[in-house]
A = this chain, B = another copy of it.
Amino acid sequence: MALSDVVAGPRNEEGIGSAIGILKQRFGERFSTGTALREQHAHTTTYIPSQIPDAVVFPESADEVLEIVQVCAAHKVPMIAFGTGTSLEGHVNAPNGGISIDTSRMNRILKVNAEDLDCVVEPGVTREDLNKYLRDTGLFFPIDPGANASIGGMTATRASGTNAVRYGTMKDNVLSLTAVMADGRQINTGTRARKSSTGYDLTRLFVGSEGTLGILTSITLKLYGIPSCIAAGVCPFPSVDAAVNAVIMTIQMGIPVARIELLDALAMKATNQYSGLNYPEGPALFVEFHGTDDYAAEQAGLFGEIAGELGGGDFIWATEQEERNKLWKARHDAYWAGFTLRPGASCFATDVCVPISRLAECIHETQEDIAEHGFLAPIVGHVGDGNFHVTMLFDESSKEEIEQAEAFTKRLSSRALAMEGTCSGEHGIGQGKQTALQEEYGCEIDLMRSIKHAFDPDNIMNPGKIFSMT
């Protein structure tokens, strides 16, 4: 789908009017049709134009979600679950109008089972709030997309982030979840057992379903002990190729690196500017090792040997928590840092993921593409998984620049697919990548549609996302 194709769908005006009347009466000041609030609920971290919902409601419990779903379902009104609005592919837009269900008041941590290394949270809990809450238990939740996203949103988009190379993605870290279905049924996809062979894996079906199958009301997550030693560092490399080859060797040797992140020269420059740092302005890897003192040191030593062989420069180590936090905040802010390169520009953020043996080639060709077209587009990436991001700065008032950005993204997706990769490692499809999804899959999309139709025959759960139902 091109940007210009993200158009409004059919609106059920009568149903929307009825639902608004009922929900307004029921939820009072926790329900709003105010323009500013509605605009805020469609304006996300994305290049895709906003399509605002007709109203926003703030439930405080699963029972209230159920009430909202029942009203919307009775009147066939679209529902769009909203976490923190940090998704990147237009996931919270309301192309057919409808009600934005803002989960920010469902922000309770319902239970921490420290002895079982799991917890149960409401969908509006953010990853940073969860980790603040957990700190005294000695446990942490590792999944960290760039933004301080909500656990509900992270579940819905199958988020990952810098720790995925060691700890997996949301797919690997959601034990089970509860949701309200379009027909008002409340489901619980599993137990707290660490593994199960009982029937179809509904948990994994909901993880990554982008709100199109039901509204999440709680999520049970795996937790991990905070390692006794965490050693982080930045290592400059003479070229992106050299840095990527160091990553490939690290993974192939089985070094269980916790984080291994690439920033190209342009991304380092932007990061220095934005975060007030003075790292060398060439390609670099940000790495982190977890373990006992001895084990973290052993991993760091092995990685150091690899980096040395490939021309890596002196490490800048950060072992104290404050220094580490500063380092990783700079990495997480890379998206925002990009804007310093072209003040006033918009950002077209995209990601792909390829088998690691093809990573250097894929990044290399992408950099050539960027250079050839004169784009301003830093590259950062979770390269241990073969996943990287391009954040292209463009002028959203320029039709030509939009078309160029779209064409670039299309070439990038096709390049990744040709290398046996995927058109999105972690951002998801939303509205922005539906054409790429069609290039990645064929009749499999019909299977996905048939599940959607079976679960949501009136297409009221976040319609128009992942694929069209028409």
Contacts and interface: CB of A to CB of B under 8 A. Distances in A.
Given A204-B205, A227-B254, A451-B451, A444 B187 contact: yes
Contact of A420 (B160, B192, B386): B192
A420 B33 CA distance: 42
A173 B450 CA distance: 26
Interface string A195-226: 11111111011011100000000000000110
B198 A440 contact: yes
Q: So how many copies of this chain end up in the complex?
A: 2
Contacts of A445: 199
A251 interface: yes
A115 B194 contact: no
A195 B448 contact: no
Interface string A415-428: 01100111111111
Contact of A199 (B204, B208, B427): B208
A195 B437 contact: no
A429 interface: yes
Contact of A429 (B159, B194, B198): B198
Interface in A220-242: 224-225, 227
B185 A443 contact: yes
24 contacts: A113-B355, A158-B196, A185-B443, A187-B443, A188-B444, A192-B355, A193-B425, A194-B386, A195-B426, A196-B425, A197-B422, A197-B424, A198-B423, A198-B428, A198-B437, A198-B440, A199-B445, A199-B448, A200-B452, A201-B208, A225-B254, A227-B254, A294-B294, A451-B451
A191 interface: yes
Contact of A448 (B200, B385, B437): B200
Contacts of A452: 200
Contacts of A450: 454-455
A344 to B, nearest CB: 30
Contacts of A193: 353-355, 385-387, 416, 420-422, 425
A278 B385 CA distance: 46
A417 B198 CA distance: 12
Interface stretch (A13-21, A164-172, A366-374): A164-172
A121 B101 CA distance: 45
A414 to B, nearest CB: 13
Given A157-B197, A198-B424, A199-B445, 15 more contacts: A116-B357, A158-B201, A168-B172, A185-B443, A187-B443, A188-B441, A190-B422, A192-B421, A194-B356, A194-B387, A195-B425, A196-B425, A198-B437, A200-B447, A200-B466
Given A169-B195, A298-B295, A385-B195, A448 B164 contact: no
Interface in A424-470: 424-429, 433, 436-437, 440-441, 443-448, 450-455, 466-467
A252 interface: yes
A12 interface: no
A194 B353 contact: yes
B422 A171 contact: no
A200 B195 contact: no
Contacts of A157: 197
A195 to B, nearest CB: 5
A222 to B, nearest CB: 11
Contacts of A440: 191, 198
A197 B454 contact: no
Contacts of A277: none
A171 B204 contact: yes
Interface in A170-184: 171-172, 181
Contacts of A224: 254
Given A195-B169, A424-B197, A187 B447 contact: yes
A248 interface: yes
Contacts of A357: 113, 115-116
A407 B160 CA distance: 44
A201 B198 contact: no
Contact of A118 (B205, B294, B355, B425): B355
A295 B160 CA distance: 28
A118 B197 CA distance: 24
A254 B253 CA distance: 22
